[in-house]
Amino acid sequence: MRSYSHTSMPSILNSLKLLADPTRLRILLLLSSDPLSVAELQQILSMGQSRISTQLSQLKKEGLVEDQRSGKNNIYSASLPPQLEKVAREAGKELPETKQDFASLKHILQKRKDHVRAYFDQLAGKFGREYVPGRSWKSLAEAMLKILNYDTVADLGAGEGTLSQLLAQRAKHVIAIDNSEKMVTFGQSLARDHKLPNLEYRLGDIESPPIDDASVDLAIFSQALHHANHPEKAIAEAHRILKPGGRLIILDLLQHTFEKARELYFDSWLGFSEVELVRMISEAGFQDTETVVVDRESTPPYFQTLLATAAK
């Protein structure tokens, strides 16, 4: 904490005026806990960069925050005198967003330590750059699925069931859920043709899957959640059908701005931010949530794939 002389202390009256604004108060509370970049504040607060930058500029002008250059980013931290920090923390108890802000902050700080992200970034940049016979994402996926050991798996929003068929090679029972009757009929015929009697297709919606409570070991959403009207409800349903200790896996698009996706692919949501996805998973009752961006497309609109895992 910075020490203050009488002459350098920010104006109490001006500071209180700034603290009276909920957005500025939320920013100050976060920065009082840990230094953050504008991008990190955007993720936590779900606000645009210009709005946050404007608030930071006002706080910096009054001497309530300071910034320091770190690589390409400015890192902001609070520089509140003790009496103002105490007032801010008390006022923060009245904001309904404070609890969620600090839950999101915890996730952001964990991501800084997550070396898995750097690994996948490196892998995504190198994979496929040079041709190697027999190497593909599909072959890697099949190899990884061989080491999974789950008795009952629910593939929620399965489509034609490519993933379900891979899972059925290992799991004792795979339940593929889709709300398209044609997809279910097609999937059933594939299961018969490929002699996969443990692969069962059911017609249903991912927001109310026809699966008994606490009956599956693994629930997967693979590029299905952004089609849901209420993704938080779909995640809550996954929690319902999982056994205690069961696992949740979500593969979906990272939040993007390609509006045409709504028309071209019938997407209800333009992906999800990591913080937003973690919030929905946590509110559904899951624990030990982890997220990582596992793929970045090299052509427009440069979709990115977000992987989230959690335990019941």
The CATH number for 58's domain is: 1.10.10.10
Sole residue written with tokens 């949740």: 248
Q: Do 129 and 275 lie in a common domain?
A: yes
SS3 sequence of 207-258: CECCCCCCCEEEEEEECCHHHCCCHHHHHHHHHHHEEEEEEEEEEEEECCCC
Separation CA 179–CA 204 (nearest Å): 5
Residue 266: CATH number of its domain: 3.40.50.150
Report which residue type is found at 204. Answer: G
Structure tokens, 31:
């920065």
| 156 in Cβ contact with 142 (< 8 Å) | no
Q: Do 51 and 121 lie in a common domain?
A: no
pLDDT for res 22: 95
Separation CA 59–CA 15 (nearest Å): 8
List the pLDDT tens digit at each of the 312 positions of the chain: 444 444 355 688 888 889 999 999 999 999 999 889 999 999 999 999 999 999 999 999 999 999 988 667 788 999 888 888 899 999 999 999 999 999 999 888 877 765 545 554 554 455 455 554 554 555 556 656 655 778 999 999 998 788 898 889 889 999 999 999 888 998 899 899 889 999 999 999 999 999 999 999 999 999 999 999 899 999 999 999 999 999 999 999 999 999 898 888 888 999 999 999 999 999 999 999 999 888 888 888 999 999 999 999
Last residue of a domain, one of 71, 86, 112: 112
pLDDT for res 200: 96
pLDDT for res 175: 97
pLDDT for res 147: 57
pLDDT for res 5: 41
Structure tokens, 159:
């489509």
Alpha helices in 64-180 (DSSP H): 82-92, 98-112, 115-126, 137-146, 162-168
Query: Alpha-carbon torsion 107, 108, 113, 114, what sign?
Result: positive
Last residue of a domain, one of 112, 138, 153: 112
Q: Do 99 and 190 lie in a common domain?
A: no
Q: Do 191 and 291 lie in a common domain?
A: yes
Q: Do 162 and 226 lie in a common domain?
A: yes
Helical packing angle, 12-19 and 82-92, nearest 10°: 20
Q: State which residues form the domain around 26.
A: 12-112
* 301: preceding bond cis by omega (within 30 degrees): yes
Q: Do 290 and 304 lie in a common domain?
A: yes
Separation CA 180–CA 266 (nearest Å): 14
In terms of Cβ atoms closer than 10 Å to its own Cβ (0-12, 13-18, 19+), residue 48 is exposed
Last residue of a domain, one of 65, 88, 112: 112
pLDDT for res 65: 93
- Considering the domain boundaries, does residue 4 fall inside one? no
